[in-house]
Chains A and B, each alone.
Chain A
C-alpha cells in the first residue's frame, strides 16, 4: 500500500468500477434471443447498454487519469484476466431467468447505494459519472425488484427456483463490501466510496423486497472473495475474456 500513488489508485479505482459494469453487462447481453418474452429481452439488453456505457465512461476516465494515451478499449480488450477487478458476482454464468434476476437485483441494490455515494465524490468526474449512473441503476433496481416479487410470490415452482438462486449466489455478496488498498487510500481524500459502510443499508433494502417476495434472506456465512482485491476469478471468467477479446487479439492494432 505504501507503494501505491494516488494517481495509480485513481486509475485502479475507476477501472475496477468499470469492470463491474462491463462484466455484468456482458452477461446480460448474452440473453439476446434467449429471454422468456421480447419485452423481458429488451429490458435486459437495455440494462446491458447502460452498464457497458458506464464501463466506457469509467475506462475513459481511467485512461485520462493514467495519461499514457490509452483508450477505453485498451482497458476492455488488452488486459489479462487477473487485471480485471470486478466482483465475482458479476461474472458467474447467467443460469436461468431466476438466477439472472437475482444477480441483477443483488447488484442493483448495491449499485444504487454505491452510485448515490459516488455522486458526492470529491472527484468531479467520478461524481458526474455517479449521478448519471444512479438514474440508470435505479431503473435496474425497479425492474429486478418487480421480478423478484413476481417470481418469489408467483407459483411454488418459481418460488423454489428463485430461493435456490438466492441461496447459491449469496456467497458472492460479501465481496461487494470489502475495501481494496486503492479504495482505502482514496477514501482519505473523499474520492472513493466507503463500501463497507453500505452493508447495513444494503441488508435492509434486500430484506424489504424479500419480504414482499416471500423469500428468506440467507444467513451471512462464508464470503467468496477474489476478483475485486486480487484479480483471482472463477473458472467461468476466462471464457468471457476469450470471447470478448477474440477480435482484438486476432487482429492486433486495427481500427474497428
Chain B
C-alpha cells in the first residue's frame, strides 16, 4: 500500500559548488536520461538522495501503519479462509515495509532514524491510513481501491531511476496485484450476497472512494516540486495522470459490482476518452495530512506503544548477542 509523495515541502536544490560537482551532476543526469539505474555506491546529488529517503521512508511507513486498519479485523474475519488471506496479506505488507526500509538504508539513513522521524511526526505516511476500518467490507474495499491506487503508483515507480527502489517495486507490485484481486473478490462475494451484505459493500465504498483519489496527492497545478522528481525519474507520471488512470480502470469494476460511486459528476467523456470526476475536497485532504484525520493520533500512539513496550525485548536481544560475541572472542 502506498500513497502520495507530494505533500511535504520541497527539498532545496543547491547550486553546484565547484566545477567538479557540476561535472558530476551532468554525468548523473545523463545516466538518468539514458535510463541507466542509479546504484547506492554511485555519486548522486544530495537533494536526489534526500528526496529518495523521504519518499522511500514514507512508503515504508505507509506499509507498516497500513497494517493497523486491517489488523483491526483479523480476529473478526467471518470465515477461516478469509482470516488466513487477511493474515497473509498483512504479513506481506510488513514484508514490504522491511524491504523498503532496507532499500532506503542503502542511502545512508538507518531504520531507527526513520522510525524516530515517523514517531515524532517529521516523516509522513499515506493519509489514507488515517481513515478507520469500520466494517468487514472495508477489508475488501482497502484491497480494491487502496491497493488499486497504490499499484497505479507503484507500476510507475518500478521504472524509477534508483535501482534498489525500482527493484523493490517490481517485486512488491506482484504481491499488491494479488491483494487487489482478493479485495475485489471479497466485494464480489458481498455483491452476490444478502441485502445487508450489499449495504455493507456500498457503505464501505462510500467512505473510501474520495480518500482513495486523494492518495495520488494534490493536483499537478498545486504540486510545484514534482517537476524535479520527474526530471530525476523518481516520479514517472504526474499525480493527475495517475489519478485519471485509476479512475478509468476502476469505474467499470464498480459497475460490475453493481454499486454507485459517490460522485454525481462522474461520467464518461467521449471526447477525452476518459471519465470526468468531481472536485476533490482538498480541505479534508489538508486536514488529514495535518493531523486531523479520524485516526492520526491513534495510529502513531499504537506505533509508539508497540515500540516502547518492546524496548526491554530489544535490549535483551542486544545484550544476549553481545554476550555471545564476547564468548567467541574469549
How far does the Cβ of B209 sit from chain A's closest Cβ, in whole Å? 23
Which residue of chain B has its CB nearest to the CB of A76?
B80
If A34-B309, A49-B91, A155-B312 touch, whether A56 touches B84 (CB-CB below 8 Å) is yes
Query: In the complex, which range does the number of interface residues on chain A fall in?
Result: 35 or more
Tell me which residues from 20 to 34 in chain A have a Cβ below 8 Å from any Cβ of chain B: 22, 26, 29-30, 32-34
Out of B68, B91, B319, name the residue touching A45 (CB < 8 Å).
Answer: B91
CA–CA, A240 to B76, complex, Å? Answer: 9
CA–CA, A59 to B189, complex, Å? Answer: 23
Query: In the complex, which range does the number of interface residues on chain B fall in?
Result: 35 or more
> Which of B32-40, B94-102, B229-237, B261-269 touches A?
B94-102
A247 touches B94 (CB 8 A): no
CA–CA, A240 to B311, complex, Å? Answer: 28
How far does the Cβ of B121 sit from chain A's closest Cβ, in whole Å? 18
CA–CA, A243 to B98, complex, Å? Answer: 30
How far does the Cβ of A162 sit from chain B's closest Cβ, in whole Å? 8
B320 touches A37 (CB 8 A): no
A32 touches B74 (CB 8 A): yes
Which residue of chain B has its CB nearest to the CB of A244?
B75
CA–CA, A79 to B72, complex, Å? Answer: 23
Contact of B302 with A by CB under 8 A = yes
Contact of A255 with B by CB under 8 A = yes
If A154-B320, A155-B319, A243-B75 touch, whether A36 touches B196 (CB-CB below 8 Å) is no
Tell me which residues from 52 to 78 in chain A have a Cβ below 8 Å from any Cβ of chain B: 52-53, 55-56, 59, 72-73, 76-77
Binary contact readout A75-111 vs B (1 if CB under 8 angstroms, 0 otherwise): 0110000000000000000001110000000000000
If A29-B87, A45-B90, A255-B189 touch, whether A36 touches B74 (CB-CB below 8 Å) is no
CA–CA, A234 to B95, complex, Å? Answer: 35
Contacts of B98 in A (CB 8 A): 38-39, 42
How far does the Cβ of B197 sit from chain A's closest Cβ, in whole Å? 6
Out of B67, B136, B194, B312, name the residue touching A247 (CB < 8 Å).
Answer: B136
Contact of B317 with A by CB under 8 A = yes
Contacts of B317 in A (CB 8 A): 150, 154
- If over half of B's interface residues share one DSSP class (helix, strand or loop), that class is named, otherwise mixed; here it is helix
B310 touches A53 (CB 8 A): no
Contacts of B303 in A (CB 8 A): 33
Contacts of A39 in B (CB 8 A): 98
Contact of A41 with B by CB under 8 A = yes
CA–CA, A161 to B197, complex, Å? Answer: 46
CA–CA, A40 to B316, complex, Å? Answer: 14
B87 touches A161 (CB 8 A): no
B91 touches A256 (CB 8 A): no
CA–CA, A150 to B197, complex, Å? Answer: 48
B78 touches A45 (CB 8 A): no
Tell me which residues from 279 to 327 in chain B have a Cβ below 8 Å from any Cβ of chain A: 302-303, 305-307, 309-317, 319-320, 323
Tell me which residues from 84 to 119 in chain B have a Cβ below 8 Å from any Cβ of chain A: 84, 87-88, 90-91, 94-95, 97-98
Out of B81, B305, B315, name the residue touching A158 (CB < 8 Å).
Answer: B315
B77 touches A247 (CB 8 A): yes
A36 touches B194 (CB 8 A): no
How far does the Cβ of B72 sit from chain A's closest Cβ, in whole Å? 9
Out of A40, A48, A254, name the residue touching B87 (CB < 8 Å).
Answer: A48
Contacts of B74 in A (CB 8 A): 29-30, 32
How far does the Cβ of B140 sit from chain A's closest Cβ, in whole Å? 10
Most buried by A among B307, B316, B323: B316
Out of B71, B76, B79, name the residue touching A33 (CB < 8 Å).
Answer: B71
Binary contact readout A155-184 vs B (1 if CB under 8 angstroms, 0 otherwise): 101100100000000000000000000000
A52 touches B316 (CB 8 A): no
Which residue of chain A has its CB nearest to the CB of B77?
A247
Tell me which residues from 197 to 256 in chain A have a Cβ below 8 Å from any Cβ of chain B: 240, 243-244, 246-248, 251, 254-256
CA–CA, A153 to B327, complex, Å? Answer: 13
Closest 10 CB pairs of A and B: A36-B310, A154-B316, A158-B316, A32-B71, A247-B78, A256-B78, A36-B313, A150-B320, A154-B320, A243-B75
**Can you list 30 contacts pairing A with B, beta carbon distance less than 8 Å?**
A30-B75, A33-B71, A33-B302, A34-B306, A36-B306, A36-B309, A36-B311, A37-B310, A37-B314, A40-B313, A42-B95, A46-B91, A49-B91, A56-B81, A56-B84, A73-B79, A77-B78, A153-B323, A154-B319, A155-B316, A157-B312, A157-B315, A243-B76, A247-B76, A247-B77, A251-B194, A254-B78, A254-B193, A256-B78, A256-B82
